[in-house]
């Protein structure tokens, strides 16, 4: 089985995305996770370009990576100096990385317009720079920048650049689709001619995603003989991003029969994807293939029914192989199979003709018609499910709430105050609180009433709050009288959950979502969930 080396450049090329800015500590966290995942090379950055990357290389040696080799990135030397005098090349040597990746121009257009030197001078830059680094590095890679555009414009010169790099002792010649516009057929034709011209060389591939082809081109390059694939976790990168390793790795491993990171490590891919997103302070992409939360989500009743019988009917791979999971989405498209699947997840093996199943399906469809969307608010659905199944325990009873919102002087913030009246374990609690807006005031008043009886609520925090107008969704009402949907994402030390509320009144919709969120927290922490035991209010 042929081995393909994975070269991760999330910490360098990935950080060129306009929404990503990683500290040195962030980069060390990601590097450890990539090493755990089993990638072969981790490109830490450009030590000659900024203090953060320089600090990273100083720190990474003490991390004790078990699998990956650390690579430093740089460019051919400045045309106005020599390789020996170039500070960037010196920084590559001094950073202590065992691997260096040097990029150089291979498109005559860039040589003339960007470097403003002759073609022969550029060939000298490539040869001299790589020749200087070769004795200091255990492995040396050459990133042939803009290679496919350069080859299309002037194949003889692009090949001459590769030959210079190969003669200088480069271990792998990495062909770069830097502008991201090459089509797979053109890539295959180019690589065939390159392999013919340099039969003893080893090749890698580095693709950008400007034409949505970075993954396809990377896979095609492997088919054409590439032994190294460069890319980033989640496809992060400049403009439209880089080739997404979260798609490339499973395609190579599961569909093309190559040895990449191995089946045991592959089961960590979803976790690694989410971890890197978290460190980068980005929400994971819901519909990302293989590792996204919706990658194996099924909504239509016919689909769900078929998947329950045999998952191969609507899944191209087993989600467990990737560390992901099958998900059944509840909506107005749901059938009884959706209800049965979720019930089994919650520990109930119901019959499709069970009265509770039919009742729940009818209520689900009616609520979806009103604007509820339980596919994104499973905590609210879970509470609805258990109430339908006979869960009668109430942790507290709502009696009344009131919100006062007023605007005093124009140079002062609006004033928000909420009062709530609840019955908690047989006692009436009447509390008030101010807040930064009406929802915050409501939340504060609720907590003031509930936390003495339920101290575990102190660890629950609001993570996200979203409002969407449902114009025309109910009774054809629009404009400022529209119904709104409120989604609240809450979390504690262990979990995150989302709840929903729908009303023409944004405060009432927020109240519904808040109540569900608190009830879910109390429910999931309750050691006596079912059968119903203990006190009822």
What DSSP letter does each residue of 346-370 carry, written as one string?
Answer: TT----TT-HHHHHHHHHHHHHHHH
Higher pLDDT residue, 1 or 121? 121
Dist. CA 403–CA 329, nearest whole Å? 35
Name the nearest CA neighbour of 99 among 131, 72, 121.
Answer: 72
> Which position has the token pair 């150089």?
104
State the average pLDDT for the chain: 91
Please report the pLDDT score of residue 478 as a whole number.
67
Torsion sign (Cα): 498, 503, 504, 506: negative
What is the tens place of the pLDDT at every residue in 50-63?
899 999 999 998 99
Please report the pLDDT score of residue 395 as a whole number.
93
Please report the pLDDT score of residue 536 as a whole number.
37
CATH of domain 396-453: 3.30.160.740
Domain boundaries defined on the chain: 5-279, 297-370, 396-453, 460-537
Average pLDDT over residues 265-270: 97
pLDDT at 419 over 80: yes
Distances (CA, A) of 434 to 1, 439, 450, 453: 66, 10, 16, 21
Please report the pLDDT score of residue 310 as a whole number.
81
Dist. CA 24–CA 502, nearest whole Å? 44
Mapping DSSP to helix (H, G, I), strand (E, B) and coil, where does residue 222 land? helix
What DSSP letter does each residue of 111-171 carry, written as one string?
Answer: IIIII-S-HHHHHHHHHHHHHHHGGG-SEEEEEEETHHHHHHH-HHHHHHHHHHHHHTT-S
Q: Do domains 396-453 and 460-537 have the same CATH topology?
A: yes
pLDDT band for 232, please (50, 70, 90 cuts): very high
What is the tens place of the pLDDT at every residue in 473-505?
555 566 777 889 999 999 998 899 999 999 989
Please report the pLDDT score of residue 224 as a whole number.
98
Domain 5-279: which topology?
TIM Barrel (3.20.20)
Mapping DSSP to helix (H, G, I), strand (E, B) and coil, where does residue 417 land? strand
Average pLDDT over residues 322-329: 85
Higher pLDDT residue, 355 or 43? 43
Q: Does domain 460-537 have CATH number 3.30.160.340?
A: yes
pLDDT at 413 over 60: yes
Please report the pLDDT score of residue 474 as a whole number.
52
Cis peptide before 187 (omega within 30 of 0): no
What is the tens place of the pLDDT at every residue in 86-96?
999 999 999 99
Please report the pLDDT score of residue 20 as a whole number.
95
Please report the pLDDT score of residue 333 as a whole number.
56
Please report the pLDDT score of residue 533 as a whole number.
36
> Residue length, the chain?
537
pTM for this entry: 0.75
Dist. CA 535–CA 396, nearest whole Å? 11
């Amino acid at each position: 089985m042929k081995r393909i080396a994975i070269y991760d450049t999330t910490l360098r090329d990935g950080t060129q995305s306009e929404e990503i800015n990683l500290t040195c500590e962030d980069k060390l966290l990601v590097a450890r996770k990539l090493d755990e995942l089993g990638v072969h090379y981790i490109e830490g950055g450009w030590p000659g370009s900024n203090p953060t990357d320089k600090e990273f290389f100083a720190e990474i040696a003490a991390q004790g990576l078990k699998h990956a080799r650390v690579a430093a990135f740089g460019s051919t030397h400045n045309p106005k100096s020599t390789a020996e005098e170039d500070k960037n090349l010196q920084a590559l040597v001094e950073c202590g990385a065992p691997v260096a990746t040097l990029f150089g121009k291979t498109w005559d257009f860039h040589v003339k317009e960007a470097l403003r030197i002759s073609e022969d001078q550029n060939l000298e830059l490539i040869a001299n720079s790589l020749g200087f680094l070769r004795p200091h590095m255990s492995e040396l890679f050459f990133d042939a920048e803009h290679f496919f555009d350069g080859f299309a414009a002037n194949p003889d010169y692009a090949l001459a650049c590769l030959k210079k790099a190969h003669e200088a002792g480069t271990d792998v010649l990495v062909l770069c689709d830097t502008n991201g516009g090459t089509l797979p057929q053109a890539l295959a034709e180019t690589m065939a001619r390159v392999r013919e011209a340099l039969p003893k060389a080893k090749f890698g591939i580095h693709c950008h995603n400007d034409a949505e082809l970075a993954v396809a081109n990377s896979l095609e390059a492997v088919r054409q003989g590439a032994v190294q694939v460069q890319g980033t976790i989640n496809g992060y990168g400049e403009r439209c991003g880089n080739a997404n390793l979260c798609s490339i790795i499973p395609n190579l491993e599961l569909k093309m029969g190559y040895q990449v990171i191995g089946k045991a490590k592959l089961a960590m891919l979803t976790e690694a994807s989410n971890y890197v997103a978290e460190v980068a302070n980005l929400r994971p992409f819901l519909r990302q293939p293989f590792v996204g939360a919706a990658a194996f989500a099924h909504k239509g009743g016919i689909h769900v029914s078929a998947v329950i019988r045999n998952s191969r009917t609507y899944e191209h791979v087993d989600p467990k192989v990737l560390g992901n999971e099958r998900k059944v989405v509840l909506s107005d498209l749901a059938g009884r199979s959706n209800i049965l699947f979720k019930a089994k997840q919650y520990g109930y093996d119901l019959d499709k003709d069970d009265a509770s199943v039919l009742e729940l399906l009818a209520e689900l469809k009616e609520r979806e018609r009103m604007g509820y969307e339980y596919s994104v608010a499973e905590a609210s659905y879970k509470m609805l499910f258990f109430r339908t199944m006979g869960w009668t325990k109430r942790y507290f009873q709502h009696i009344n709430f009131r919100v006062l919102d007023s605007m005093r002087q124009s140079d002062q913030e609006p004033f928000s105050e909420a009062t709530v009246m609840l019955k908690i374990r047989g006692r009436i609690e009447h509390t008030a609180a101010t807040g930064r807006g009406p929802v915050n005031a409501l939340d504060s008043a609720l907590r003031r009433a509930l936390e003495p009886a339920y101290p575990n609520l102190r660890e629950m925090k609001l993570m996200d709050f979203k409002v969407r107008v449902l114009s025309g969704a109910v009774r054809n009402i629009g404009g400022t009288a529209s119904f709104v949907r409120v989604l609240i994402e809450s979390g504690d030390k262990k979990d995150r959950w989302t709840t929903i509320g729908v009303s023409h009144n944004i405060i009432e919709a927020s109240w519904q979502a808040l109540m569900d969120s608190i009830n879910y927290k109390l429910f999931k922490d309750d050691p006596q969930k079912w059968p119903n035991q203990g006190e009822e209010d």
